[in-house]
Structure 1
Amino acid sequence: MSRRKLCQICGGKAYKRYFGVVSCENCKEFYKYSVRTGKLYVCSGNKEGEEQQCSINLKADTEPCKRCLFDKCKAKGMTRLDVKLYQRFNRRQLPIKTPGIIKQLVRVYFSVFQLQERQFQAKNAKPLLLSDTPLEKSRSSYKASMFSQLCSQYEPLIYKMVKFFSRVPEFSTLPSDDQLILLKTGFIDAWLVLNARNLSIVQDSLTLCDGAQIPVCEFTTVYTKDYVTSLLELSDDFRVMKLLPYDRAVILALVVLCSDRPNLIATDKVKEMKDSLLKSFRQFLQLTRPSNTNLYTKITNLLSSIYDIGKQHALLMNMYRAELDNLHVSSVITELFDLHPPHAYKES
């Protein structure tokens, strides 16, 4: 049962977010209709050219002023882009024979990662410097400092991943230790799925899906030139394939459901879940893009590339385990990347 909330627009009953704002069905439908039809409203309380903010009250006897209701929707954070994305994900009809697991993944993906899609569509660039001091590549402390700053970009995604996979069918039935292992080892792979389509070098900066632009020299210093090259090649593959948000929802689940992760208990069950999802995905691709007969093969190859880059990242973490004194990351990041002293592994 969803927890009841109050609509931020009119104060009525609300159970979820629409267009980024906790709102009721009436306000959601009103804003969507207004944007789609391009309606222009005049404030009913506006007299002699004076601006007036009418009261938007659900319990009022009279119908609320549409101009002020629309303005309040925008003031609370609803945008035209939100409506466009809502139509794309929620209203565009999937084929009747679309497997149920695909429908559920798409619905969960949109509810959890709507902000990422909004930011990608908006393409609002915002420079992000990983270091506020002159770059000294010979000093490992600078690398550790920049890596710490980059981790602040990773952290918000951790909680979204937990939220997403808590709603993925059967994932919660896995042993809790297996869930943790899959989320930890699959994090960078998931980050790649969400960011690869927008990774590009513009004016010597690497642009991420949230619009953050990181100088290439700094990103390369944090990792390696080969690693950055692999990211850009993967980005090219994503753009050439022109994958839909539906595809990203499924690929996100596939990269995490990897039975080859070390120390898994229920490896057979994870493999069974992934094989079942791959079968459904193949059927979905045949339904939606029957003329693109090689798409499924291309996506499976894409998965292999993602796994390879994830393994590169895991190896690169060794250099930061030797610089723990210079790292300033949260406990969540510490556990995510296993940033513990090397001797801790020997003792275990």
Structure 2
Amino acid sequence: MIKTKKTTNLFCRNWLTLKLDVTLLCVLVFVNTENLTAATFHTKLSNMKLRCCLIVRQVRMSRDAAGVEGVHDVLTGQNEEDEDEEGKVTEDEEPRACGVCGDLAKGYHFNALTCEGCKGFFRRAIKRTTELRCLFLNKCIVTKSNRRACQACRFRKCQAIGMRREMVMSEQEVLERRIRIKKKKMRKIPPQLSSQQEDIIQELLCGHRRTFDSAFSRISGFRPMDRVIFSESECSRSAAEPFNPLTDCPTNSCTTARKSATDPRTWLRACSLSSSSSSSSSSSSSLCGLFEKQETQEGEEVGKSSVFTALPHVMDLTTYMIQDIISFSKGLQDFRSLTIGDQISLLKGATFEIMQIRFNMVFNTKTSIWECGHVAYCIDDAVRAGFQQLLLEPLFKFHHTLRKLGLQEEEYVLIQAMSLFSPDRPGLQQRGVIDELQENLALTLQTWIDCKRTAPDKHLLFPRLIACLTEMRTMTEEYSKQVLQIQDIQPDDISPLIMEVVSKSPCSDL
């Protein structure tokens, strides 16, 4: 395009010059009344041509202010409206020349209008340690054809036209700029899971499905749990009456007669009726009544034995979950590559967190119960196992928050693995390796969300998951503390495996 414009401009100039010569010649021939000789005729023609050139030059210098369109308009006094616009010669169409050598300039480089060759020369000259010297008294003329002859004069001319030394970037700055450009291009490209990330997800999914029984088919072999269930009349009444989270908790609205919950579906129906009308905002406040002292009809305080009625069953369920989590962890290749001491330290710190993440997959936010196959659990079961409000209230809120995010199975297994490979667990030796593993898992989770999620607020999901994992850290400490307190009161109901997990002393093997 630039070569075409240059050729057009040259043609227009030659055509105008030829037209001027012909016009002056005709004037002299037809108006030659003095019968001039050939030599005198040629002299007069040259003088007239020089005058016209001076006039044209003055017009060109002032045509922007005068608003004149072209030289032809000045000479003829006419403005041809129907003339082709591409045939006009304007300043914008003329190519810009390099201020150093006169070559075609493509833009401003280092604060001066230069060509690409002089731009690269100036950058190399700035980074050069040796001093440039001219052998011809620093008076060399730099042109496109001989610009490589004297580097000293070329560099001096670069500085003379305004090229600035401080605008040349260092190697470090160039590298950082390339990285920024690369990141910007990568942001424009739709994210895709790498083959390594897909392998990580598949390994986690296989291990999770192998070790997590969502139907909880082995629950029937656990020690039974005495529960307070609704009578049919009270179920109908609680369904018709409005729900008050501060007073109508399952413990307070139950019948006073206690009997074994032989039919789990009856308990599920009772829990559903008692909490179906509660909203998510009042779910955590519904725990308040569960921690008040329960009294019988005669006003006598219930003894210690009734507080731990659910403890044997809950401990069996916990032991069952811990065994599955250990099996899940040992099935991971990265976990097996760690030392035995680091494996134990990671499991001791992450077992409770992974257990709650797995329980969250069966949590129903509408009824606030955990639907474990044909058996359902509510927060009252944890109260009657001896756990206190300081743990259960944030735990209840955590399950509501995490479940409302609508996680997919892949996202659940990734946050389980992120919780497992936490480099800040006490007693670790290979912290650097574990930190790298967790970083890869976090990047895989972030890429998965970017690829698979389509909601406009998907960019908020990853930080919300990190916040949930952080919140569980404080609950893990409180859980261990309360289990040790329960063990002091009911030592026979807690299995050795649970004690090894919650104890702070190092254990031999899990």
Q: Which category describes the TM-score, using the shorter chain as reference length?
A: 0.5 to 0.7
Query: What is the aligned counterpart of 1:185 among 331, 349, 363?
Result: 349
8 Å Cα contact 1:258-1:270 kept in structure 2: yes
**1:228 matches 2:366:** no
**1:150 matches 2:249:** no
8 Å Cα contact 1:109-1:249 kept in structure 2: yes
8 Å Cα contact 2:347-2:420 kept in structure 1: yes
CA displacement at 1:332 relative to structure 2: 2.0
CA displacement at 1:105 relative to structure 2: 1.3
CA displacement at 1:339 relative to structure 2: 9.7
- Partner amino acid for 1:311? E
CA displacement at 1:144 relative to structure 2: 5.3
8 Å Cα contact 2:325-2:355 kept in structure 1: no
Query: What is the aligned counterpart of 1:252 among 416, 420, 432?
Result: 416
CA displacement at 1:172 relative to structure 2: 0.8
CA displacement at 1:252 relative to structure 2: 1.1
CA displacement at 1:207 relative to structure 2: 2.7
Distance 1:168 1:141, change over 3 A: same
1:165 is aligned to 329
CA distance in 1, matches of 2:439, 2:482: 30
Structure 1 ranges of 4+ moved more than 4 A: 130-145, 200-203
8 Å Cα contact 2:354-2:419 kept in structure 1: yes
2:210 is aligned to 111
Distance 1:333 1:322, change over 3 A: same
Deviation string, structure 1 residues 147-171 (Cα, Å, up to 9, x no partner):
3331101112222212211122311
Give TM-score, length-normalised by structure 1. Answer: 0.59
CA distance in 1, matches of 2:227, 2:504: 19
CA distance in 1, matches of 2:451, 2:350: 29
**1:309 matches 2:475:** yes
SS in structure 1 opposite 2:428? coil
CA displacement at 1:256 relative to structure 2: 1.6
8 Å Cα contact 1:317-1:339 kept in structure 2: no
SS in structure 2 opposite 1:241? coil
8 Å Cα contact 1:196-1:238 kept in structure 2: yes
1:300 is aligned to 466
Distance 1:339 1:174, change over 3 A: closer
8 Å Cα contact 1:130-1:214 kept in structure 2: no
**1:195 matches 2:359:** yes
What is the correspondence of 1:1-348 to structure 2 with a 5 Å cutoff? 97=194, 99=197, 100-113=199-212, 115-116=213-214, 118=215, 128-129=225-226, 139-140=303-304, 142-143=306-307, 146-200=310-364, 206-214=369-377, 216-221=379-384, 222-291=386-455, 292-323=458-489, 326-338=491-503
CA displacement at 1:192 relative to structure 2: 0.5
Distance 1:299 1:218, change over 3 A: closer
CA displacement at 1:321 relative to structure 2: 4.1
Distance 1:317 1:243, change over 3 A: same
SS in structure 1 opposite 2:206? helix
Corresponding residue pairs, total: 238
- Partner amino acid for 2:496? S
CA displacement at 1:188 relative to structure 2: 1.0
SS in structure 1 opposite 2:503? coil
Distance 1:130 1:309, change over 3 A: farther
Deviation string, structure 1 residues 121-175 (Cα, Å, up to 9, x no partner):
xxxxxx9537988988764555556433311011122222122111223111111
CA displacement at 1:308 relative to structure 2: 2.6
CA distance in 1, matches of 2:402, 2:444: 21
Distance 1:202 1:96, change over 3 A: closer
SS in structure 2 opposite 1:336? helix
Distance 1:248 1:265, change over 3 A: same
Distance 1:272 1:298, change over 3 A: same
SS in structure 2 opposite 1:259? coil
8 Å Cα contact 1:174-1:266 kept in structure 2: yes
8 Å Cα contact 1:258-1:274 kept in structure 2: yes
- What are the ranges of 5 or more consecutive residues in structure 2 without an aligned counterpart? 1-191, 218-223, 229-257, 261-293, 296-300
CA distance in 1, matches of 2:499, 2:309: 14
8 Å Cα contact 2:354-2:416 kept in structure 1: yes
- Partner amino acid for 1:108? G
- Partner amino acid for 1:296? F
Deviation string, structure 1 residues 180-199 (Cα, Å, up to 9, x no partner):
12112211101110112434
- What are the ranges of 5 or more consecutive residues in structure 1 without an aligned counterpart? 1-94, 121-126
Distance 1:269 1:244, change over 3 A: same
SS in structure 2 opposite 1:294? helix
1:79 is aligned to none
CA distance in 1, matches of 2:429, 2:374: 39
1:83 is aligned to none
Report which of the two structures shows the higher radius of gyration computed on alpha carbons: 2
8 Å Cα contact 2:226-2:309 kept in structure 1: no
CA distance in 2, matches of 1:250, 1:201: 22
